Amino acid sequence: MTLQQKATLVSSSVAFTLASMKFIIGIISGSIAVLASAIDSLLDLVISVFNYFAIKNSEKPADHQFNYGRGKIEGIAGVIEGAIIVLSGLFIFYQSIQNLIEGKELGAMGISVGMMIFSFIATLALVLFLNMVAKKTNNLVIKADALHYKTDLYSNGVILFSLVFIYFTNFYLIDSILGIIIASYIIYSASGLIKTSVLNLMDIALDDKIVATIEKIIASDKRVNNYHDLRTRESGSRYFVDVHLVFDEKILLLMAHDISNEISAKIRKIEPSKKWIINMHLDPKDDSGKKYLS
């Protein structure tokens, strides 16, 4: 089992525990903020389970049916997760407005505060763990999961503050007001995740710095006269690079092939943790006249 698969199992376990406890406390206390957090944790559980299967399938090697692998599953998972986050944010927003109008009072404040303290600590530990995994693997699904639980961490902190504030002041409207703020932040955060996932599905080029480094590596080899039609994209844990290298007409095919292998080896060192799929077309003359793909 890979590190990212283990990360999704840990996320699922934490989400199940928190969702169960929050639902009980939310029903007892009547806090819309705690119930909203419980629903969010339940969605976390569904998403984490979905992410586990998404990662497991995306890491399968290329075959006769999927010649380029299944890395796009990560982008699909990111879009779905982002959409679910938005929906949960809208639900919290609606419930907060409704509770604000009704002016409902809360009960069992002591146990509610204790529950949110535990939830905050557990979520903080999970965010630190997921960030560590995301940094090591650069996996889009784990990054999305880390972002999701980071928003949970903020919302748990705000809810904890509101419960303590209500406990000492009896100002119950703060529960709904902070619910609206949390919902707005959740929706805003999800928009960035959806954008990144959609761009990944649309085969957006690699980061500008990576592309610039690739161009520098190719241009620095004096045995290559020119290059053109450089294309890059990302799919899961794989980086794809396609480029035409222009050589002298009299160069031996074996020598040109060896040079392209040397260049490929240098390119792979840019991000050693990634699996690079590099396709270099060896041209005996410049048939493009364009150095960069427009």
pLDDT at res. 15: 79
Of 195, 196, 182, nearest to 90 by C-alpha is 182
Q: Integer distance in angstroms from the first to the last C-alpha of the chain?
A: 42
**Separation of alpha carbons 119 and 110, rounded Å:** 14
How many other β-carbons are positioned within 10 Å of the β-carbon of residue 170?
10
Which stretches of the chain drop beneath a pLDDT of 50?
291-294
How far, in Å, are 174, 232, 282 from residue 252 at the CA level?
Answer: 76, 27, 11
pLDDT at res. 180: 83
Of 84, 238, 110, nearest to 164 by C-alpha is 110
pLDDT at res. 162: 77
Q: Give me the residues paired with residue 226 across strands.
A: 246
Of 163, 9, 162, 151, nearest to 86 by C-alpha is 151
pLDDT at res. 69: 76
Of 52, 36, 46, nearest to 162 by C-alpha is 36
Cα torsion at 239, 245, 251, 253 (round to 10°)?
A: 40
The sheet carrying 238-246 orders its strands as: 226-235, 238-246, 275-283
Backbone angles phi, psi at 206, to 5 degrees: -60, 165
Q: Is the pTM of this model over 0.75?
A: no
DSSP class of residue 291 equals S
Please give the single-letter amino acid code of residue 240.
F
pLDDT at res. 293: 43
Show the domains of the chain with their CATH numbers.
3-201 (1.20.1510.10), 208-283 (3.30.70.1350)
- In the chain, DSSP assigns E strands to 226-235, 238-246, 275-283
pLDDT at res. 61: 76
* Sign of the alpha-carbon dihedral angle for 100, 23, 127, 187: negative
Tokens representing 6? 């283990």
Please give the single-letter amino acid code of residue 104.
K
